[in-house]
Amino acid sequence: MSELPQGSVIGILGGGQLGRMLSVAASRLGYRTHIYEPGAAPAGDVAHVVTTAPYEDEAALRAFAESVDVITYEFENVPTAALDLLESLRPIRPNRRALAVSQDRLTEKDFLTGIGLTTAPYRNVETEAELPAALAALGAPAILKTRRMGYDGKGQIRFGDKDQRDWTGAPSVLEGFVKFSAEVSVIVARGVDGQVSAFDPGLNVHREGILRTTTVPCGLSQALLTDAVLLAAKIVNALDYVGVMGVELFVTPKGLIVNEIAPRVHNSGHWTQAGCAVDQFEQHIRAVAGLPLGDGQRYADVEMENLIGDDVLRVPELLKQPRTQVHLYGKGAHRPGRKMGHINRLL
């Protein structure tokens, strides 16, 4: 496929806020979107078509694929069988390998170390019985994470000392605790033609396992900024990747350690909406549609803050603030831990 013609339909697996913002970006470039989502779909409000069906519904998957020109996703845990069916009908971008690698924390770490990057020390812990040996090997403190389906700190247990024995209930990896001075992330894009473009790394602050703020510039030295961008480029090149990827890094005295990768647009890239001429959502749509990547240079200092749970009650006040973009996801009722929107404040 070369450039996707105007009016083409981009299929998006997953209908959350990332799919919503991808849909808006696609429409600005003259495309339509079709959202496939088993549950409630905030993205459906701004899409051309929405399919509400489980990922096990073969007829719905087939009809979805046949109605679109290319398929992308905002959610990396789509079941393999669904992807097999979809891929037989339409191209999936980013590709299956990127999904397979990042759906499982063990495969992901094996891939990253295999291309010469540094991760936290880790051990596969297939069953509870393997935990004591892994803890003995890595020492404490350590973090046990389910291999699949974790997000926002879910599916993780922290071990303060090596005699603790809680179990996640599923195949897991044990990671040695990294004493980092900061967490940063790089949002990197790769086009169909292999062109790579990275946004400036952002500084991430988490609370209760959930991203609270991302700030640019992130305060890293020029040498580390370069390292961050080069290692992100190495990852997308190794995967022959097409689209935007989020690469989460720990900053340590020994250099950068890769925490995890996400084969999609990323919460820590929302600042690009206010800081760049072309934001991460447009960059992803450009890549998936076979268009040239856009200008991802940063033209402003920005702080992105997530509006989580009842933070959304601050919206009337936030709307009055200068230099502030308010983005709301149209999710209705707020619940603790639920991402309701975000703001981008120009510093």
Binding residues for ATP: 105, 145, 150-156, 175-178, 183, 206, 259-260
Pick from ligand ADP, Mg ion, none: which does 308 bind, CB < 5 to 8 A by kind? none
Q: List binding-site positions.
A: 105, 145, 150-156, 175-178, 183, 206, 259-260
Contact partners, residue 313, CB within 8 Å, separation at least 6:
334
Nearer to Mg ion by Cβ, of 228 and 318: the residue is: 228
Instruction: Give the nearer residue to ligand ADP in terms of CB position, either 31 or 250.
Output: 250
End-to-end CA separation in angstroms for the chain: 41
Q: Which of 241, 282, 247, 237 is nearest to 92 (CA)?
A: 241
Q: Which is nearer to ligand ADP, 94 or 294 (CB)?
A: 94
Smallest distance, ligand ADP to C-beta of residue 235, A? 16
Cβ 245 to Mg ion shortest distance, Å: 13
Distance CA 184, CA 177 (A): 17
Which of 58-94 are b and which e, b meaning 16 or more Cβ less than 10 Å from the residue's Cβ?
A: eebbeebbeebbbbbbbbbebeeebbebbeeebbbbb
Cβ distance to ligand ADP smaller for residue 176 or 217: 176
CB 29 within 8 A of CB 9: no
Name the binder of 120 from Mg ion, ligand ADP, none, CB < 5-8 A by kind.
ligand ADP
Cβ atoms within 10 A of the Cβ of 194, count? Answer: 11
Least Cβ distance, residue 248 to Mg ion (angstroms): 5
Nearer to ligand ADP by Cβ, of 23 and 213: the residue is 213
Given Mg ion, ligand ADP, none, residue 108, with its beta carbon under 5 to 8 Å by kind, binds: none
Q: How far is the CB of 165 from Mg ion (least distance, A)?
A: 25
The neighbour count for residue 179, using CB atoms within 10 Å, is 9
Residue 333, Cβ density class (10 Å: 0-12 exposed, 13-18 middle, ≥19 buried): exposed
Residues 235-254 interacting with Mg ion (rule: CB under 5 A): 248
In the complex, minimum distance from the CB of residue 83 to ligand ADP, in angstroms, rounded to a whole number: 20
The least distance separating ligand ADP from the CB of residue 85, rounded to whole angstroms, comes to 27
Q: For residue 41, how far is the Cα from the chain centroid? A: 18
Report which residue type is found at 267.
N
175 binds, among ligand ADP, Mg ion, none (CB under 5 to 8 A by kind): ligand ADP
Q: Among all chains, which residue has been given the structure tokens 């087939």?
A: 62
What whole-number distance in Å separates Cα of residue 190 and Cα of residue 223? 22
- For residue 143, the partner it binds in ligand ADP, Mg ion, none, with Cβ less than 5 to 8 A by kind, is ligand ADP
What does 177 interact with, of Mg ion, ligand ADP, none (CB < 5 to 8 A by kind)? ligand ADP
Q: What is the closest distance, in whole angstroms, from the C-beta atom of residue 120 to ligand ADP in the complex?
A: 4
- Which CB, 70 or 142, lies closer to ligand ADP? 142
Which chain residues interact with ligand ADP by CB under 6 A? 120, 143, 145, 150-153, 175, 177-178, 183, 206, 209, 248, 259-260
DSSP label of 128: G
Residue 6 per-residue DSSP state? T
Distance CA 101, CA 73 (A): 15
Helix boundaries (H) for 213-307: 222-238, 272-275, 280-288
Look at residue 151 and give the partner it binds from Mg ion, ligand ADP, none, a contact being a CB closer than 5 to 8 Å depending on partner kind: ligand ADP
Nearer to ligand ADP, 151 or 167 (CB): 151
Q: For binding to Mg ion (CB under 5 A), which residues are involved?
A: 248
